[in-house]
C-alpha cells in the first residue's frame, strides 16, 4: 500500500473545498487531474476514500488518510522553518521565520476563562499561527477524527483513534442569578413551585451542563422557560441582566468585575472534566502546545482528584 504526498494533498483539498472543481482551483490544476489523483489514491489503498456527494465527504478510510495529509503538512512546515533558519540567507530575526499553522478546537467556556493565555504563550514562544475552532464536544471530536484539527479541548474522555488523551482537570461551575431576578422569581430560595416558572439561560439546545445543574437543584423533572444565548461572555451578561439563571464558571463568579452582579443559588458545584486530545505525532509544535496546555490547566482547573461526584456529562457547546 503506497500513497504520495500529492495524493494526500489532493484528498485534503477535495474535503476542504467540498467539490473536485473547487479543489482543482485551489491546487491550480484541472478537475480531471484531481479526479485522476483521487482514483489513483483509492486504487493504491484498495478502498473508497471520498463520497461523491455535494459537498464531498470522507469515508471512514478517507478520514484516516485526510488526517495523515494534515499531519504531513505540519511536519513539512516545521522542516521548512528549520531549514530556513539554518540557511545562509536567513537574517537571524526569528520574526521572519515561516510559521506552522495549527488548527485546534476548544469549548467556549475554556476560551472565555483559561485558554487564551495558552494561545498567547504558544504564539510568543514558537513560530506558529493558531486557528481556533469553537464548537460543542461532539463536533470537535468529529473534527479531530477527520483531521480538521490537530487537537481538541473536550469533555469527552473517549479517545479518537490515532490520538492521545490527557486529563486536564475540571472546570468548576455554580448556578447563579442576579439579585433582582432572585427577588422576583425565587423570593423563598430554590423551591420546586417557583423553579417551574423561573426562566433559565441555556447556551443552546445541547447544553448538557445546564440540564445537569437543573437536575442537581431540583430532583423532580421540570421544564422551565428557556432563553438561548450561544456565546460565553453574552451568556454570563444575560444572567447578570436578569434574563434567567444559569451555570457560570467559578473563576468568572469570583472575579470582581465579571461576578459582581451574580449571586449563587447553591454552594454545591458542578465540575466538568476536560481533556486534551491530540494527534499522536512527533511534532515539536504539537509537543510544545500540549506542554503549555497542561501547564495552564494545572494552574487554572480543579485537579482530577478534587473533582466532585456531581460531574456533568459532556458539556455540549460550552
pLDDT digits (tens, 9 = 90+) for 47-100: 788 898 888 888 888 887 887 777 777 777 666 666 555 555 656 666 666 678
Cα torsion at 177, 181, 186, 190 (round to 10°)? Answer: -10
Q: Given this model, what pLDDT does residue 264 score?
A: 97
pLDDT confidence bin for 132, thresholds 50/70/90? very high
Higher local confidence (pLDDT), 35 or 147: 35
Burial 135-166, CB ≥16 within 10 A → b, else e: bbbebbbbbbbbbbbbbbbbbbeeebebbeee
Q: Tell whether the model's pLDDT for residue 169 goes beyond 60.
A: yes
Average pLDDT of span 290-299? 96
CA 246 to each of CA 250, 253, 260, 291: distance values in angstroms, whole numbers, following the listed order:
12, 12, 15, 33
**Counting beta carbons within 10 angstroms of the beta carbon of residue 269, is it exposed (0 to 12), middle (13 to 18) or buried (19 or more)?**
buried
CA 91 to each of CA 85, 86, 87, 96, 126: distance values in angstroms, whole numbers, following the listed order:
9, 10, 9, 8, 17
**Counting beta carbons within 10 angstroms of the beta carbon of residue 264, is it exposed (0 to 12), middle (13 to 18) or buried (19 or more)?**
middle
Q: Given this model, what pLDDT does residue 7 score?
A: 86
Fold of 1-98: Arc Repressor Mutant, subunit A (1.10.10)
Q: Given this model, what pLDDT does residue 312 score?
A: 41
Closest C-alpha among 52, 49, 42 to residue 18:
52
Beta bridge partners of 133: 105
Q: Tell whether the model's pLDDT for residue 250 goes beyond 60.
A: yes
Which DSSP state fits 279? E
Q: Given this model, what pLDDT does residue 171 score?
A: 94
Beta bridge partners of 228: 202
100-318 is classed in which CATH architecture?
3-Layer(aba) Sandwich (3.40)
For residue range 225-236, list pLDDT tens digits in order.
Answer: 999 998 888 999
Quote the cell numbers at residue 90. 536567513
Q: In the chain, which segments carry CATH 3.40.190.290?
A: 100-318
Closest C-alpha among 289, 12, 271, 248 to residue 132:
289
Q: In the chain, which segments carry CATH 1.10.10.10?
A: 1-98
**Contact at 8 Å (CB) between 144 and 158?**
no
Q: Tell whether the model's pLDDT for residue 195 goes beyond 50.
A: yes
Q: Given this model, what pLDDT does residue 190 score?
A: 96
Q: Tell whether the model's pLDDT for residue 104 goes beyond 80.
A: yes
Q: Given this model, what pLDDT does residue 273 score?
A: 92
Q: What value, to the nearest 5°, has the Cα angle with vertex 278 and ends 301 and 85?
A: 105
Q: Given this model, what pLDDT does residue 314 score?
A: 47
Higher local confidence (pLDDT), 15 or 317: 15
Any idea which of 88-102, 185-199, 264-278 has the lowest mean pLDDT?
88-102
Amino acid at each position: 500500500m503506497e500513497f504520495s504526498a500529492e495524493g494526500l494533498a489532493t484528498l485534503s483539498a477535495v474535503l476542504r473545498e467540498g467539490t473536485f472543481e473547487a479543489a482543482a482551483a485551489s491546487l491550480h490544476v484541472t478537475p480531471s487531474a484531481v479526479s485522476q489523483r483521487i482514483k489513483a489514491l483509492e486504487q493504491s489503498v484498495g478502498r473508497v476514500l471520498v463520497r461523491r456527494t455535494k459537498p464531498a465527504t470522507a469515508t471512514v478510510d478517507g478520514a484516516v488518510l485526510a488526517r495523515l495529509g494534515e499531519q504531513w503538512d505540519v511536519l513539512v512546515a516545521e522542516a521548512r522553518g528549520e531549514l530556513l533558519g539554518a540557511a545562509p540567507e536567513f537574517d537571524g530575526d526569528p520574526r521572519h521565520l515561516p510559521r506552522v499553522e495549527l488548527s485546534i478546537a476548544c469549548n467556549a467556556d475554556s476560551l472565555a476563562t483559561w485558554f487564551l493565555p495558552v494561545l498567547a504563550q504558544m504564539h510568543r514562544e514558537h513560530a506558529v499561527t493558531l486557528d481556533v475552532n469553537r464548537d460543542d464536544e461532539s463536533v470537535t471530536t468529529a473534527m479531530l477524527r477527520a483531521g480538521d484539527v490537530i487537537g481538541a479541548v473536550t469533555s469527552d474522555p473517549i479517545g479518537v483513534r490515532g490520538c492521545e488523551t490527557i486529563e486536564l482537570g475540571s472546570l468548576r461551575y455554580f448556578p447563579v442569578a442576579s439579585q433582582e431576578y432572585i427577588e422576583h422569581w425565587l423570593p423563598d430560595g430554590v423551591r420546586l413551585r417557583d423553579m417551574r416558572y423561573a426562566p433559565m439561560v441555556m447556551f443552546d439546545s445541547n447544553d448538557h451542563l445546564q440540564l445537569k445543574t437543573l437536575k442537581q437543584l431540583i430532583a423532580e423533572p421540570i421544564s422551565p422557560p428557556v432563553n438561548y444565548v450561544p456565546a460565553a461572555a453574552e451568556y454570563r451578561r444575560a444572567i447578570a441582566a436578569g434574563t434567567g439563571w444559569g451555570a457560570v464558571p467559578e473563576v468568572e463568579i469570583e472575579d470582581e468585575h465579571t461576578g459582581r452582579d451574580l449571586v449563587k443559588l447553591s454552594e454545591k458545584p458542578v465540575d466538568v472534566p476536560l481533556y486534551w486530545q491530540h494527534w499522536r505525532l512527533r511534532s515539536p509544535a504539537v509537543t510544545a502546545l500540549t506542554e503549555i496546555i497542561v501547564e495552564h490547566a494545572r494552574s487554572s482547573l480543579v485537579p482530577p482528584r478534587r473533582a466532585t461526584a456531581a460531574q456533568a456529562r459532556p458539556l455540549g457547546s460550552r
